[in-house]
Amino acid sequence: MEQKKLLAALPSVDEILKSPEGERWLGRYPRRVVLQGIRDIVQSERDAILAKERRVLEKTDLLAAMDSRITELCSCSLKNAINATGVVIHTNLGRSVLPDSVMKHVVDIASGYSNLEYDLEKGMRGKRYSHVQRIINEITGAESSVIVNNNAAAVFVSLTALAKGKEVIVSRGELVEIGGSFRIPDVMSASGATLREVGTTNKTHLRDYENAINENTALLLKVHQSNFRMVGFTETPSVEDLVALGRKHNIPVMFDLGSGCLIDMKPYGIHIELTVQEVVRAGADLVTFSGDKLLGGPQGGVIVGNMKLIDIIAKNQLMRAVRVDKMTLAAFEATLHLYLDEERAKTEIPTLRMLFMKPEAIRKRAQRIASQLKKSLPADEATVRIVKDASQSGGGALSEILFDTFAVSIVPQKMTVNTLEAKLRRQRPPVIARIKDGALLLDARTVLDKDIPLLVTGVANALTA
Ligand SMILES: *Cc1c(COP(=O)(O)O)cnc(C)c1O
């Protein structure tokens, strides 16, 4: 009986449309969206009444729920988020943040026509890859280069073009899975190449490669272990040794470098990452790497190396399927320009800036966040303090290195820390944080300065509303 009454009391869609709110919505949003928003909320209210699962909403709450549903339906699903995880190259959060100067160029190019595939000298069709080739070659020291949609595509197209129907020798210690289902053995079989595993998980010797070489060998492939490390009783030949072996048998050596660092990190005490330049100098015939990992640019896959091999790859049919668009090319070229001056790259490319940020500067940022947060919160709402912690690079790079960092630690008094974490994800913009030892941590390393006010509002909202 009670249920029937409640159901009958629910407003009709027409009624709502004729209310002042309904008229306001119709003035601002497309009619179909307004109708959808109203229907969604009426339906969920009807379900709630039938299930007796929660308190029935008052009219004003009902209208507020419709208002936020309509706004949600009108906004894009892909939206900015605040990365408070401290993981700089966070694949789930979009990997690298692009520099402002790069974005300006992307907007310029994308909002007008361009010489994307037009040779302005000759007045005829040009090559889309030409725009980045010279600068990639200059920075990496490679003879030639080509760029595709991502590094997975770079590896796939290279294997297809050079090793289809032939054998590729890879160490058993490098048969990696990168995540998101990129597995070397699977990529290999999809390309039509035959994987020839050599060595063992922990030790592969140069002679293992040499013993496996036969007249059907197309490539010696080395793969960066990226997201894991082997320690202890391990061995693997250097790039130089592998190159010497390849030369001796006239077989090209390819290195899937993964992250693709262009900056020497030894001055920062990081000795494990070979730069692209070092691998090129060591004589690798082909090197592939990502654009949006340590390089700090847009998603893309770069293939650099021997001109003859690059030409073969560039002519493969698959290139059309993995080609980059003008926005990627614009972003790539502008990012690489920053690398012409390494100091500039380190300060202007957000990925590098965040990675190399001094702990003291991170602590200051954490303090700024904490003090603004304390000002906007009643004192009994949460315990807020600064804690020392460690952040990770992410993106399959520098996986065992922990970077000293500072985080704002929040222990809520009136809800669990898990509830707070979930509420933060529903803020606008969403705040992605992590939980450690019963506290919510906001790692200041990856919080962009321009986002601090939004972060503070979001956290205050989540704690109080
Ligand atoms: C990340 C990575 C890939 C995949 O690169 P994407 O740009 O994400 O496609 C391939 N190989 C290695 C070794 C990697 O680290």
SS3 240: helix
Nearest residue (by CA) to ligand 1, atom 11, is: 258
- pLDDT for 388-420, tens place per residue? 999 988 877 787 788 999 999 999 999 999 999
Model confidence band, residue 379 (pLDDT cutoffs 50, 70, 90): confident
**Predicted local distance difference test score (pLDDT) of residue 330:** 98
- For the CA of 180, the closest atom of ligand 1 is 8
Instruction: State the average pLDDT for the chain.
Output: 95
Residue of 93, 148, 177, 182 best suited for mutating to test ligand 1, as the one with most atoms within 8 Å of CB: 182
In this structure, is the dihedral angle defined by the CA atoms of residues 230, 233, 238 and 241, taken in order, positive or negative? negative
Residue of 177, 188, 290 best suited for mutating to test ligand 1, as the one with most atoms within 8 Å of CB: 290
Place of tokens 């999809």: 190
In this model, does residue 215 exceed pLDDT 90?
Answer: yes
Cβ-in-10-Å burial (0-12, 13-18, 19+) of 415 comes to middle
Residue of 156, 178, 256, 399 best suited for mutating to test ligand 1, as the one with most atoms within 8 Å of CB: 178
**Predicted local distance difference test score (pLDDT) of residue 1:** 56
- pLDDT for 171-181, tens place per residue? 999 999 987 77
How many Cβ atoms from other residues are within 10 Å of residue 283's Cβ?
16
- pLDDT for 244-298, tens place per residue? 999 999 999 999 999 889 999 888 878 778 999 999 999 999 999 999 999 999 9
Place of tokens 């200059």: 138
Residue 125 CA to residue 117 CA, distance in Å, equals 6
- For the CA of 224, the closest atom of ligand 1 is 13
Q: Which of 413, 328, 403 is nearest to 87 (CA)?
A: 403
Residue 36: which residues within 8 A CB-CB, separation 6 or more?
Answer: 70, 73
Q: In what order do the strands lie in the sheet with 403-412?
A: 382-391, 403-412, 439-443, 434-436
- For the CA of 397, the closest atom of ligand 1 is 15
Mean pLDDT of 92-103: 97
By DSSP bridging, strand 217-223 and strand 253-258 are: parallel
Residue 217 CA to residue 149 CA, distance in Å, equals 27
Using a cut of 0.85, tell me whether the model's pTM lies above it. yes
Mean pLDDT of 144-159: 97
- For the CA of 184, the closest atom of ligand 1 is 11
**Predicted local distance difference test score (pLDDT) of residue 403:** 92
- pLDDT for 41-67, tens place per residue? 999 999 989 888 777 788 899 999 999
**Predicted local distance difference test score (pLDDT) of residue 51:** 87
How many angstroms separate the alpha carbon of residue 258 from the centre of ligand 1? 5
Pocket (CB within 6 angstroms of ligand 1): 150-152, 155, 178, 182, 223-224, 226, 256, 258-259, 290, 301, 396
- pLDDT for 193-206, tens place per residue? 999 999 999 999 99
Residue 146 CA to residue 63 CA, distance in Å, equals 55
Residue 112 CA to residue 381 CA, distance in Å, equals 51
How many angstroms separate the alpha carbon of residue 151 from the centre of ligand 1? 5
Nearest residue (by CA) to ligand 1, atom 6, is: 151
How many angstroms separate the alpha carbon of residue 183 from the centre of ligand 1? 10
Cβ-in-10-Å burial (0-12, 13-18, 19+) of 25 comes to buried
Residue 3 CA to residue 56 CA, distance in Å, equals 10
Model confidence band, residue 6 (pLDDT cutoffs 50, 70, 90): confident
DSSP state at residue 381: S
Model confidence band, residue 130 (pLDDT cutoffs 50, 70, 90): very high
Mean pLDDT of 108-136: 96
- Amino acid letter, residue 433: A
How many angstroms separate the alpha carbon of residue 129 from the centre of ligand 1? 21
| Distance from chain centroid for Cα 297 | 10
Percent of the chain's residues with pLDDT above 90: 86
**Predicted local distance difference test score (pLDDT) of residue 270:** 80
**Predicted local distance difference test score (pLDDT) of residue 157:** 98
Model confidence band, residue 26 (pLDDT cutoffs 50, 70, 90): very high
